[in-house]
Structure 1
Amino acid sequence: VLASYTTEYDPSNESRTHNIQLASDKINGTLIKPGAQFSFNDVVGERTAEAGYDDAPVMIDGKLVPGIGGGICQVSSTIFNTALLSGMNIIERTPHFEPVGYIQAGRDATVAWGYLDFKFRNPYQQSIYILSIMNNGTLTIYIIGTAQDKPKNVSISVGDYGEIPNKTITKVDPSLKEKEVQEGHVGLTMNTYRTITYGNWVTQTDSFESVYDPVDTIITMPPEGTTKKADKKKP
């Protein structure tokens, strides 16, 4: 075993668990030859109802809404970390719109069919295999290779934290009787650093930037005077 990584999911969320299982099964047993590339989208395929995927919560504009294939980014995030720890060359990785609950910010990897992929390359002289196992609330992904290819040590740290200010936007809605507030939050920036130490004590360092967008606070008001008129009618 070159490396493994585990994340947790809620088995009671059946649709999301089903989607994770489908994606996990797709990548399980994948062989990657020396110098060859792994593409999450190529291996897993398009996430559609016809392919067996269910509607499950996905994050869009700071809100959880139903979407086909919701949950599969937990699989791409888990294998991203396994790839980091096993010394794979990361080719393509994109953070989510905002941090997710199942993994530390800066260590996630989102995917979307047709335009966002997660890719890595096998840098070793021997083939590697992916083993993906789900077990009652945990997803563990292993990368299997030869002992001679296993790094002596891999350290990962997240730092250089920064904030991106959000805005407050006020709107008027004639249908409202009272003010409504949809709270937003600031955005975040950070870097994830990886240092690989090989058996000959040669080290290699790389980094991965994460930018999580701010979400504006939206204040929606009734037309001017509506609230006051309503108050005057009260005894």
Structure 2
Amino acid sequence: MYKMKSRLILAILALSLLVTAATAAAEGYTHLWGGFSTPLAGRSPQQRHNAARAAADLNGIIVPPGATLSLNDILGVRLAEKGYEIAPMVTDKGTLEDVTGGGICQIASTIYNAALDAGLQVVERHPHSRVVHYVPPGRDATVAGWLKDLKVRNPHEVPLQLGMDASSERLTAAFRGIRPKNFRVELKTEIIPLEPETAVVSSSKWAVSPQKGGSGYSALTRRIIRSGDRVQDEVLSRDRYPAPTRLVGGGGR
């Protein structure tokens, strides 16, 4: 009962953020505060479909001053009844698993970077278990059911509108305000490559082909916000993306 009431409250809060794109345009949300774009090349048709489906629900949302935008609150559970399709998703173990709604993590990563550019505060953000190809290490965000969410808060005195576009070969997110922003944002990431671990596999027991492994990284991401003479330097995240294991044959008996 408690969980049902909590989700009902969250749903009501989420609905309070919704404003149609037409209304937003009429109110003058014409000044770009932060934007980001990621490539859709290499994504499956199902992943592209799910990204476009989620983008349609997010497009036109208004985040009032002091309000928090939650992707899970807005999108809800990704179900086939809502138009989502089965598509690959990276699991916590770094493997690909087919799930309904797979592929919307790219939505989360794109919005995350646009939010950073717009000076929004990060309330909740989770990295992938492995590196993803559409954003640099330390700049990704993943969502998973009700367990992992992306939440960003508007600390500004003006409301911001989120615009989404998935109609071309790129997925784009943009936050716009009713007046120009008065600060500049710089993102810096220190990346350290990680070598893959080596596992020796006996060829007499398993027919496993040698694998070179893959790239892994440790990433420290900072955001610097400059407004006049004021400089705010914050550490956004310290992330670790293990490298896929290198497999080598060990002979066997």
**TM-score (ref. length: structure 1):** 0.83
**1:220–1:115 CA distance, 2 compared to 1 (3 A):** farther
Instruction: Pick the aligned partner of 2:85 from 54, 60, 82.
Output: 54
Instruction: Pick the aligned partner of 1:97 from 104, 113, 129.
Output: 129
Unaligned runs of 5+ in 1: 225-235
In structure 2, the residue matched to 1:38 is 69
Shift of residue 147, structure 1, vs aligned partner: 2.1
**1:179–1:89 CA distance, 2 compared to 1 (3 A):** closer
Distance in 2 of aligned mates of 1:112 and 1:162: 27
Matched, 1:7 2:35: no
Distance in 2 of aligned mates of 1:30 and 1:118: 15
Shift of residue 172, structure 1, vs aligned partner: 4.3
Shift of residue 222, structure 1, vs aligned partner: 7.9
Partner SS state of residue 105, structure 2: helix
Q: What is the correspondence of 1:96-135 to structure 2 with a 5 Å cutoff?
A: 96-135=128-167
Distance in 2 of aligned mates of 1:41 and 1:153: 29
Distance in 2 of aligned mates of 1:183 and 1:120: 38
Q: CA RMSD in A?
A: 2.4
Shift of residue 42, structure 1, vs aligned partner: 1.0
Distance in 2 of aligned mates of 1:157 and 1:66: 34
What are the Cα deviations for residues 134-192 of structure 1, in whole angstroms up to 9, with x where unaligned? 222121111111325x1331111211x2344432223447665x552244235311111
**1:29–1:189 CA distance, 2 compared to 1 (3 A):** same
Matched, 1:203 2:231: yes
Amino acid at match of 1:45: G
Instruction: Pick the aligned partner of 1:170 from 194, 200, 206.
Output: 200
Amino acid at match of 2:47: R
Amino acid at match of 1:180: S
In structure 2, the residue matched to 1:22 is 53
Shift of residue 126, structure 1, vs aligned partner: 1.9
In structure 2, the residue matched to 1:227 is none
Shift of residue 212, structure 1, vs aligned partner: 0.7
Amino acid at match of 2:39: E
Distance in 2 of aligned mates of 1:203 and 1:66: 44
* Runs of 4+ deviating beyond 6 Å: none
Partner SS state of residue 49, structure 2: helix
Q: How many residues align?
A: 220
Unaligned runs of 5+ in 2: 1-31
**1:50–1:219 CA distance, 2 compared to 1 (3 A):** farther
Identity of aligned residues (%): 30
Partner SS state of residue 2, structure 1: strand
Q: Which has the larger radius of gyration?
A: 1
Distance in 1 of aligned mates of 2:156 and 2:241: 33
